Structure 1
């Protein structure tokens, strides 16, 4: 019986059966169970920041496991303190940190902070964006503006009102003195790597300042250098009240973070929230190694090369390229992203059919010029195969 058959028999059907079974990785390359090599241009969904089996990550994790792997939240340990201090230093703003295990858990913490703020100030609802994605637990799902994954699990206990992403006028109309918080992605990831119009996020900051609502920036996918900045909001010239992180922070180890700035950092009282595994020593050690080895100049250079190469392709199936940094979507003129994903795998590249007409590219931040050029050179043939 094949590994695929065994997977299908052992697991719930929510993922289907993934088309490729990976056995190992090194740098930007991975190998499947049959020995075929792929260039990884999805990076575990923007997770594998410094590549597979990076020596510094391996050393940090191995050393920490051999020292102490778990303490629970009943005790503190130095790696969590070092990581919190490092993140606050990169943010260059006074704040407080809560560590979780994933993006959806980081957003759950942000939601609880928002609800506590609502109760304290007598506010009654939240605002989020249509087609936004904040996670699949029920709290985070209540903020997620995708009917296809949300509606079957409602009704939700929290009043969340959705507005079109990028429409500052609609946001202003929705956010009144009764609104407790606004949840936005600096670029919408699962919607198709959709950046906001210029000035939209600064307008959101001004709207929240005028009404007293908290502004929550969900940077689960966009942070840790992915867009060419440590945090995507830094390029837009604003600071949120609450920031959520995960994915690329641990380089493959599970970790999430919810950071509150100013008064939002002290909304929780003792006992208000917690996590048994959140901020465990191993994941914190991994995150510190990641932060030591992300080169923002290299990310910007690689991003410009990848985007420029893709934009120079004159293929009828490639309608355009959008996104920021090494987090792009190849936008298609036909809804055949699944065929593009398969053709890319056949050609030895891993990409992600994100939307019917959008293919997500999020290679490790250490991707080389030669690897970018190899992908760009192969992409027209991949598109032709998918179109045919």
Structure 2
């Protein structure tokens, strides 16, 4: 290892001197990855239980993704949306097929927040401006997406924000019904709230949302940016409820680490955006589309939907009843861990010291969103390490 890559502190200082301070100091400086493991610039290995926040569906350096991106970039890298490419068209067809609806249309983007921006603009084409959104939901940081995100700390520094938005308690069908009117353009919900700490609604919540939207002629828009593409053991989490949405937004795991997102309109919603209404220079470029197709192919070929269910159950069962754990939540490999005490930041630090990367979404809440290729041995290792991790976290909190 050369001196240039052996000092985390040096890179942290250079980071602080050259990048905007939008994320705070980086916890680690990572150099490479393989599967569900990453190594920092000092050569230390970690089990990645965050997966780039539910992004790295195939883990790190998966041969199928590397090959797809390399081959496509060597063939045709970018053409703008004056032209079409085979990967772009094939990807749109595949997404509609996985959703089970051939009568939709896809707008490809570079990220989740851009997919949400497209969805927001799409709702305006109904001729209505009111949107009902759940408290605790997270939909992105751009001005439009932020208008649909309830957290005050995110919103207030940038108000006034676009739109006419009403926030209602998540999982409360009665509150939702009371907020939706005949002037509502759309109801926007996450099938499981990720940023809020992996909050799972009652099983009748999405069907109730569908009924309420239908009663008032509103669109039902489901944000699957975090839950989609196999994360919860299904291609899309809303399929568990049997509900058909009008709009679906995707990103994160879709590209397996390569930036891509999608706003999908089903039925009549697919025709709301017309030429001149929206655009993206890079959205749906052939390299990103090839990456997404490789992810979809690999999830299917390697049985990763079933693997996500098994590994998620292994983590939840293994952590239930452990020291300091109140309960676990989630589906597949989107796992929430509710702690008995406000020790989440200390647990994150102790886990990192023990060689595991996890995420705190609140003072007492952890989120695990590892690659779908997480092995049984890696899940067992984290469960086995938990007593020591939690014990170290408690000691760290003790004055």
TM range (shorter): over 0.9
Whole-Å Cα distance in 2 between the matches of residues 343 and 310 of structure 1? 16
* Structure 1 match to 2:245: 240
* Structure 2 match to 1:9: 17
Q: Does 1:167 align with 2:172?
A: yes
Tell me, which stretches of 5 or more residues in structure 2 are unaligned? 1-8
Q: Does 1:59 align with 2:64?
A: no
Q: 1:324 Cα shift?
A: 1.4
Whole-Å Cα distance in 1 between the matches of residues 129 and 88 of structure 2? 34
Are the aligned partners of 2:309 and 2:331 in contact in 1 as well (CA < 8 Å)? Answer: no
Instruction: Give the root-mean-square deviation of aligned CA atoms.
Output: 0.9
Q: 1:314 Cα shift?
A: 2.8
Whole-Å Cα distance in 2 between the matches of residues 267 and 54 of structure 1? 37
Tell me, which stretches of 5 or more residues in structure 1 are unaligned? none
* Structure 2 match to 1:262: 267
Whole-Å Cα distance in 2 between the matches of residues 107 and 194 of structure 1? 20
Q: Does 1:342 align with 2:349?
A: yes
Where 2:228 maps in the other structure, the secondary structure is coil
Q: 1:124 Cα shift?
A: 3.8
Where 1:258 maps in the other structure, the secondary structure is strand
- Please, which of 45, 48, 70 is the counterpart of residue 40 of structure 1? 48
- C-alpha distance after superposition, 1:300-354 (max 9, x if no partner): 122211211111x431x21111111100111111222111111001000000112
* Structure 2 match to 1:298: 307
* Structure 2 match to 1:69: 77
Q: Does 1:178 align with 2:183?
A: yes
Whole-Å Cα distance in 2 between the matches of residues 301 and 369 of structure 1? 9
- C-alpha distance after superposition, 1:19-50 (max 9, x if no partner): 11100000111000000000000000000001
Whole-Å Cα distance in 2 between the matches of residues 272 and 44 of structure 1? 32
Q: Does 1:364 align with 2:368?
A: no
Whole-Å Cα distance in 1 between the matches of residues 189 and 115 of structure 2? 14
- Please, which of 372, 377, 383 is the counterpart of residue 384 of structure 2? 377
Q: 1:92 Cα shift?
A: 0.8
Q: Does 1:325 align with 2:332?
A: yes
Whole-Å Cα distance in 1 between the matches of residues 80 and 223 of structure 2? 26
* Structure 2 match to 1:189: 194
Q: Does 1:146 align with 2:151?
A: yes
* Structure 2 match to 1:114: 123
Q: 1:157 Cα shift?
A: 3.0
Are the aligned partners of 2:245 and 2:266 in contact in 1 as well (CA < 8 Å)? Answer: yes
Whole-Å Cα distance in 1 between the matches of residues 25 and 345 of structure 2? 14
Q: 1:280 Cα shift?
A: 0.9
Where 2:235 maps in the other structure, the secondary structure is coil
Q: 1:142 Cα shift?
A: 0.4
Q: 1:356 Cα shift?
A: 1.3
TM-score (norm. length: structure 1): 0.97
* Structure 2 match to 1:26: 34
Whole-Å Cα distance in 1 between the matches of residues 138 and 119 of structure 2? 14
Distance 1:74 1:375, change over 3 A: same
Are the aligned partners of 2:137 and 2:195 in contact in 1 as well (CA < 8 Å)? Answer: yes
* Structure 1 match to 2:86: 78
* Structure 2 match to 1:309: 318
Q: 1:296 Cα shift?
A: 1.2
TM-score (norm. length: structure 2): 0.94
Moved over 3 A (4+): none
Are the aligned partners of 2:123 and 2:129 in contact in 1 as well (CA < 8 Å)? Answer: no
Give the paired residue count. 382
